[in-house]
Amino acid sequence: CFTYICNMSKAEKNFIHLCNPHLEKMQEDILYHFALGTGTHDLPALFGDVKFVCVGGSPSRMKAFITYIAGELGLGSPGSEHPNICAGTDRYAMYKVGPVLSVSHGMGIPSISIMLHELIKLLHHAKCSNVTIIRIGTSGGIGLEPGSVVITRKSVDATFKPQFEQVILGKSVIRSTDLDEQLAKELMQCSKEINEFNTVIGNTMCTLDFYEGQGRLDGAICLYTKEEKLQYLREAFESGVRNIEMESSVFAAMCNLSGVKAAVVCVTLLDRLKGDQISSSHDVLVEYQQRPQKLVGYFIKKRLGKV
């Protein structure tokens, strides 16, 4: 699939590529978890103008983002409601304004993987071109002050390898987790122009859970010492890791296979070298969570020539 993408013409690379020959034989494609489908919806009419897709964990955060970006782009009247396009299901939420699509993906690799399969198919069926997908979210930092924003260079696994491993038909399949280098640099330049919060480019460690997989001491089960935890996190830092979350590896792998330019932009809620529990006030956390939105919002405005 990767070789096929490399051999495509420049014009072909502008479109979403599906690494699945079986789809061509289907008369209808039901995007079950979105409550959408090629037989029930005119996907090109609904989504054909999409150029930017922003995905994040919670539905409320993605609704807040679409409201924010609508205001930044001057689309719609202030205070206007943006309907949930996926109202027919309670799995994910989806909002759209102009060329921007905002989609929730839930928590962890399985949840975002399901969403991405259907999102990528949706963009393909809608005949979208030159699409950029950005995950905006929260994370635990390593060696950074809380509130710092990390633009991911590479997503690495819990052994610090830049790969996503999945068992398919009983066999282990390893895929690359590289992200678009130029896009990361462009986002970093946008942060410098905003000049409101600390931003770095670094590796992001993607784990399978929030507690033991991230070396926390406060879960229901913990059979390692504080010293072992700190040694592991220091090794992560020395390898280039600057934050930890639970979605970036499969996100990078799937976007790579589909020929989509992608980035991950996450704010750090705490420094894991100093603790495990998130103790900042609600107001502080809300402001932190707005930082990736501000950065990506500025990036979209700049791309559209509105800065």
The predicted-structure confidence for 24-58, as pLDDT tens digits, reads as follows 999 999 999 999 999 999 999 999 999 999 999 99
Dihedral pair phi/psi, residue 166, rounded to 5°: -140, 140
What span, in angstroms and rounded, lies between the C-alpha atoms of 87 and 104?
Answer: 12
pLDDT, tens only, 112-171: 999 999 999 999 999 999 999 999 999 999 999 999 999 999 999 999 999 999 999 999
Q: What are phi and psi of 172, to 5 degrees?
A: -75, 125
Residue 247 has pLDDT above 50, yes or no: yes
How many whole angstroms separate alpha carbon 266 and alpha carbon 244?
9
Q: At 77, is the pLDDT very low, low, confident or very high (cuts 50, 70, 90)?
A: confident
Residue 262 predicted with pLDDT over 50: yes
Share of the chain above pLDDT 70, in %: 96
Question: What CA–CA distance (Å, rounded) separates 42 from 172?
Answer: 37
Model confidence band, residue 3 (pLDDT cutoffs 50, 70, 90): low
Residue showing tokens 């002050």: 145
Q: Which residues contact 185 (CB under 8 A, 6 or more apart)?
A: 201
Cα 135 to its chain centre, rounded Å, is: 2
The confidence score (pLDDT) of residue 6 equals 47
CA-closest candidate to residue 249, choices 158, 121, 187: 158
| 216 marked as part of a ligand binding site | yes
- 198 neighbors 148 (Cβ within 8 angstroms): yes
User: What mean pLDDT is reported for the chain?
Assistant: 95
Gap between the Cα atoms of 226 and 232, Å rounded: 10
Helix 181-194 to helix 282-303 angle, to the nearest 10 degrees? 110
Q: With contact defined as beta carbons under 8 Å apart, do 266 and 204 qualify?
A: yes
Q: Is 136 annotated as a binding residue?
A: yes
* Overall average pLDDT of the 8-26 stretch: 79
The answer to whether 290 is a known ligand-binding residue is no
Give the model's pLDDT for residue 1.
64
Query: Which spans in the chain are helix H?
Result: 2-7, 10-13, 43-47, 59-73, 109-125, 181-194, 226-238, 248-257, 282-303
Q: Is residue 91 marked as binding?
A: yes
Residue 265 to residues 55, 116, 169, 282, Cα–Cα distance (Å): 10, 17, 33, 21
- Predicted pLDDT at 78: 77
Query: Taking a C-beta distance cutoff of 8 angstroms, is the pair 44, 284 a contact?
Result: no
Over the stretch 162-213, which tens digit does the pLDDT of each residue have? 999 999 999 999 999 999 999 999 999 999 999 999 999 999 999 999 999 9
Phi/psi of residue 294, nearest 5 degrees: -60, -45
In angstroms, what CA-CA distances link 212 with 165, 223, 231?
Answer: 19, 9, 14
137 marked as binding residue: yes
User: Is 38 among the annotated ligand-binding positions?
Assistant: no
Q: Which of 14-18, 90-94, 215-219 has the lowest mean pLDDT?
A: 14-18
